[in-house]
Copies of this chain bind each other. A is one copy, B any other.
């Protein structure tokens, strides 16, 4: 069943390609890697020989000789969230064609798990890292700095230090959501949030800034719980908020799944949306455009973040420096029936 014991893989090697094409192994290595210093006719001969033998370089040997692996590690806080799936897909699309393996670490919004993933993955000498956000444990930060592995931060923009970031301003997005409700004439605006990861808290800041400017901020209308975000939780929190504050006329949800749960719950309770309560969600998940009523939401550039972050990492690897260190990809308010 499982071959064991043999030292070789049985696949053609560089040396065999060299023999067949009548050059030295190192020339084959250079020709195949596209190193400029090889004569065009030799390159052609080598490529023909490689094709004939079906040669593919052994990644382990390459990694060992060059002290560089071919893997990039992506650390995300959740996979169930659906959010990061689009991002991951885009990352794969950019990195795979460059021959890089993508290793995914899901730390489930747990800093200790993230730290342990960093520790373990760093042992594989990844070429680069794609991290979510800027906040992590001190130990994790130290390991990252010590490793000197190039990295790009996704989803947030950098405020103070010089990290390479690809994302958008979570705070501005929260601000935009609240401004929209204000412009719709809402005055008793609530905020329902779960998970409470750094990005959710940034959205909360933006929300407060907008309401504060309008002189309408009321902390009692904020319902923030640390549990994972879900449809069920959204329904529950909606009921709670309305039971406590019957005059609430608008709600910003930190994630669409909470808003979906609230829309279902509102229908069950006979609360009219948007007439009695207007709703704005976040992330514009696929279902949002189809809900009854259709959910107004902040569309976030999830795929673009993955694509650009991967590209930014490639730029770092290619030594193209970090001219445009931070890339703000923005967001878009999708106005629909719920507000």
Contacts from A to B (Cβ < 8 Å) = 1-4, 6-9, 11, 56-61, 63-65, 67, 69, 71, 79-80, 82, 85-86, 88-89, 92, 96, 101-104, 106, 120, 123-125, 148, 150, 230-232, 235, 257, 260-261, 264, 267-268, 286-287, 289-292, 316-317, 319, 321
Contact = CB atoms under 8 A, between A and B. Distances in A.
Determine how many copies of this chain the complex contains: 2
A82 B231 CA distance: 15
A25 to B, nearest CB: 16
Given A80-B89, A85-B80, A287-B231, A56 B1 contact: no
Contacts of A8: 67
Contacts of A69: 59-60
A321 B292 CA distance: 53
A319 B148 contact: no
A316 B106 contact: no
Contacts of A89: 79-80, 106
A61 B102 CA distance: 20
23 contacts: A2-B317, A9-B125, A11-B125, A56-B123, A58-B125, A59-B63, A59-B123, A59-B125, A60-B61, A60-B63, A61-B64, A79-B88, A89-B106, A92-B104, A92-B106, A101-B101, A102-B103, A104-B104, A230-B286, A232-B290, A257-B286, A260-B287, A261-B290
B292 A268 contact: yes
A71 B103 CA distance: 10
Given A102-B104, A287-B231, A67 B292 contact: no
Contacts of A92: 104, 106
Given A7-B67, A235-B290, A267-B292, 17 more contacts: A1-B150, A4-B319, A6-B67, A7-B65, A11-B125, A58-B125, A59-B69, A59-B124, A59-B125, A71-B101, A79-B85, A231-B286, A231-B287, A257-B286, A260-B287, A264-B290, A268-B292
